[in-house]
Amino acid sequence: MIEAKSLTKRYGDRTVVDDLTFTVQPGVVTGFLGPNGAGKSTTMRMILGLSRPCAGSVTVNGRPYAEHQAPLREVGSLLEASAFHAGRSAIDHLRALAATHGIPRRRVVEVVDQVGLEAAAHRRAGGLSLGMSRRLGIAAMLLGDPRTVILDEPVNGLDPEGIHWIRNLMKDLAATGRTVFVASHLLSEMAQTAQRLIVVTRGTLVADTSVAEFVERASPARVLVRTPQAARLRELLAGPGVTIAELPEDRLDIGGLTSDQVGEAATRHAITLLELSVRQPSLEEAFMELTS
Amino acid sequence: MTPTTGVTQLRVITAEWIKLRTVRSTPLTLGIAAVAMVGLGSVLSWSFANRISSGQATAGAGLITVPVRGGIVAQLVIGVLGVLVVSGEYSAGTISASLTAVPRRLPVLWAKAAVFGVTVLATMTAASFVAFGIGEAIMHSSRAHVSASLATPGAVRVVTGIGLYLFLVALFAVAVATIVRSTAGSIAVVAGVLLVLPTLASLLPKDLLGTDISRYLPSTAGAALLQPYRQADILAPWIGFAVFGLYVAVTMLVAAYLLRRRDVGSAS
């Protein structure tokens, strides 16, 4: 569980994270969504104690990150895409990290197997492909078998197989009761993996909700009809909370009513509908709506 | 969570030891420093013996100091490697991982200083004794037929002093790189303080502030340990070494303060 209270970070007069309060619950994948530069990475670095908040506080599993006796056992993190010494082998990188916590060598071998890095484990990290170095990052994240994991843009630049693998890994971690917090600027990616969304833009919270609610709230479904009696239907449907836009070729774009209501109204007044459909706004549209 | 899995200073030292010995540059650079010390010591000893036999030089303190004079060249190599131990983490970005594993941060600095410092102390002390042995043998077998031994007064202090001096250089480099963080900038500071500063100070009038201040410069003070006999214009050996140690300690404290305080990485 991650709890942020009024988290604020300023660089000079530039406020990067502004009074951010949210809770990330265990057992689900929580997406941390926002355009580039929204303050996601800074927030994650504050959670991990790498950056110091100007105001507010954040705890992981009940206490500030730096106060845990064995932080890698509490929180695993994947930050920079490939932060490894180019000349050190993958396994030596993991062994050094493990040594800080007295994590035994068999656990190092275990995570190397788990991420499918056996063949490359003794190669210099500088020679690893992007996909392989991301797997090494994941291995480091899993080293302490942590209750909470934090990932910053984990699928960026990966091929479809790698993306698929990371999605499943995050779902599996959540399914075993862990807290999974993943930052992304890609809404479609979050729609595939996340159940909850924390949406930020310019450092401020704009939504803390489920994926479905987020889309619904940001921009509700609209009803599209095509009818030769467009003008008449428009008059009939007009009312408070209803927005109707007239489109070319006898089409209407209706907001504030369900397709059932539109269909029934048309039948009552003997209006012929040649087409009746519901247009679910895309996640991208919802996102743009909220963050613009 | 059991207490057996937490972060301890000893565990962080183990981790830093793994990091230090699993990159090729460590044995390579330490090897270069050792070879430079022994090789240069041999050449200088040979040349010194020749100058004695041709009457251009008198034996004196040089009998002890010439064979280990390569240590002064080794200090630049040690300085660069000490910088890389820290700045390499910043340039590769691994500093985030290192400090996420040890969020109290200071154990990482102490561990880096201890592991690198002791490694330098051990290897360079060994190299110094080898250089001394070979240098003395060369001078002894020369036409001049002169040499000193470890029994010569001051010899043991000078020969072990090389390792001790380079130990402080190593700690100084680790501290500077923790403050400066970039490789180029750190090397400039280390080389500037150890090598350029004494040269600049020699241009100042000797009686500035009523005393010759150059003797208090870090490397000049530290090198007092490497003189077998007391000389008028330098500090007493162990006083000088303590002065150098004080500079290093202050630099290390500034490094510790900044490491605790500063944000790591500048992601926004």
Q: A-chain residues within 8 Å CB-CB of B100? A: 48-50, 71-72, 77, 79
Query: How close does chain B come to A210, measured CA to CA in Å?
Result: 26
Three-class secondary structure of residue A186 per DSSP? coil
In the block, residue with structure tokens 């919802």:
A286
pLDDT > 70: percent of chain A: 95
Q: Which of A42, A97, A101 sits opposite B267 (nearest CB)?
A: A42
The per-residue pLDDT for A277 is 87
- Residue B207 confidence (pLDDT) above 70: no
Beta carbons within 8 Å of A150's beta carbon, 6+ residues apart? A2, A44, A47, A48, A75, A76, A77, A78, A181, A182
* Exposure of A186 in the CB half-sphere (CA atoms within 13 A): 12
Query: Would you list the domain boundaries of chain A?
Result: 2-217, 221-280
pLDDT of B210 higher than 60: no
Distance CA A17, CA B119 (A): 43
List, for residues B176-191, the tens digit of each pLDDT value.
Answer: 999 999 999 999 999 9
In terms of CA atoms, which chain A residue is nearest residue B24?
A87
Least confident interval from A255-259, A282-286, B74-78, B92-96: A282-286
Query: What is the average pLDDT value for chain B, to the nearest integer?
Result: 92
- Dihedral pair phi/psi, residue A117, rounded to 5°: -110, 10
The alpha-carbon gap from B173 to the nearest alpha carbon of chain A, in Å, equals 20
A49 and B103 within 8 Å at the Cβ level: the answer is yes
User: Per-residue pLDDT for A246 more than 70?
Assistant: yes
Query: Is A133 touching B (CB cutoff 8 A)?
Result: no
Tell if the CB–CB gap between A70 and B1 is shorter than 8 Å: yes
Contact A96 B263 (CB under 8 A): no
Token pair belonging to B58: 């008198």
Confidence band, pLDDT 50/70/90 cuts, at residue B157: very high
Q: Which residues of B touch A68 (CB under 8 A)?
A: 103
Residue in chain B nearest A88 by alpha carbon: B23
Summarize pLDDT for A132-172 with one digit per residue, the tens: 999 999 999 999 999 999 999 999 889 999 999 999 999 99
**C-alpha separations of A237 from A101, A219, A228, A233, B12 in Å:** 67, 20, 15, 6, 71
Phi/psi of residue A271, nearest 5 degrees: -100, 130
The verdict on domain A221-280 having CATH code 3.30.70.100 is: yes
Q: Confirm or reject contact between A113 and chain B (CB < 8 A).
A: no
**What angle, 0 to 180 degrees and rounded to 10, lies between the N-to-C axes of helices A90-99 and A130-142?**
20
Of A257-271, A277-291, B41-55, B154-168, minimum mean pLDDT range: A277-291
Point out the residue among A11, A42, A100 whose CB comes nearest to the CB of B15: A100
- Residue in B closest to A35 by C-alpha: B268
Number of CB pairs, chain A paired with chain B, less than 8 A apart:
118
Q: Tell me the per-residue pLDDT of B92-124, one tens digit each, with 9 for 90 and over.
A: 999 999 999 999 999 999 999 999 999 999 999
Side-chain-side CA neighbours of B211 within 13 Å: the count stands at 9
According to DSSP, the residues that pair with A57 across neighbouring strands are A5
For residue B5, the model assigns a pLDDT of 75
What is the per-residue pLDDT for A26? 96
State the virtual CA torsion across A72, A186, A157, A26 in degrees, nearest 10. 20
Per-residue pLDDT band at B59 (split at 50, 70, 90): confident
Partner residue facing B97 (CB), from A37, A49, A97: A97
Give domain A2-217's CATH architecture: 3-Layer(aba) Sandwich (3.40)
Contact residues, chain B, for A50 at CB < 8 Å: 96, 99-100, 263-265
Q: How do residues A193-203 score in pLDDT, each as one tens digit? A: 999 999 999 99
Q: How confident is the model at residue B1 (pLDDT cuts 50, 70, 90)?
A: very low
First to last CA, chain B: 33
Closest CA to A65 of B89, B98, B3, B104: B104
pLDDT for the residue numbered A234: 86
Give the span between the Cα atoms of A107 and A95, in whole angstroms: 10
Tens digit of pLDDT for each residue in A168-187?
A: 999 999 999 999 999 998 88
The DSSP call for residue A39 is S
Distance of residue B168 Cα from the nearest chain A Cα, in angstroms: 25
Terminal CA-CA length for chain A:
30
Tokens 């830093």 belong to B16
**pLDDT band at residue B2 using 50, 70 and 90 as cut-offs:** very low
Q: Tell me: the pLDDT tens digits for B238-266?
A: 999 999 999 999 999 999 999 999 999 75
Percentage of residues in chain B having pLDDT higher than 70: 95
| Residue B163 and residue B124 in contact, taking contact as beta carbons nearer than 8 Å | yes
pLDDT band at B78 (very low <50, low <70, confident <90, very high): very high
Tokens found for residue B252: 């290390």
Say what the alpha-carbon torsion angle A35, A40, A41, A47 is, to the nearest 10 degrees. -170
How far is the C-alpha of A86 from the C-alpha of A131, rounded, in Å? 15
Which amino acid, A270?
A
The mean per-residue pLDDT over the stretch A235-250 comes to: 84
A87 at the B interface (CB within 8 A)? yes
- For the stretch A75-134, pLDDT in tens is 999 997 668 888 899 999 999 999 999 999 999 999 999 999 999 999 988 889 999 999
| Chain A residues 228-267 with a CB less than 8 Å from chain B | none
Which pairing describes strands A14-24 and A275-279: parallel, antiparallel, or unpaired? unpaired
Alpha carbon of B258: minimum distance to chain A alpha carbons (Å): 13
Q: What is the pLDDT of residues A217-226, one digit of tens each?
A: 766 778 889 9
Global pTM reads 0.88
Contact A51 B263 (CB under 8 A): yes
Instruction: Tell me if B5 and A70 make a contact (CB, 8 A cut-off).
Output: yes
Answer whether A18's CB lies under 8 Å from A41's CB.
no
pLDDT tens-digit readout, A2-25: 999 999 999 988 999 999 999 999
Residue A81 pLDDT: 61
pLDDT-derived band at A250 (thresholds 50, 70, 90) equals confident
Which amino acid, B195? Answer: L
Q: Would you call B102 and A100 a contact, using CB atoms and an 8 Å cutoff?
A: yes
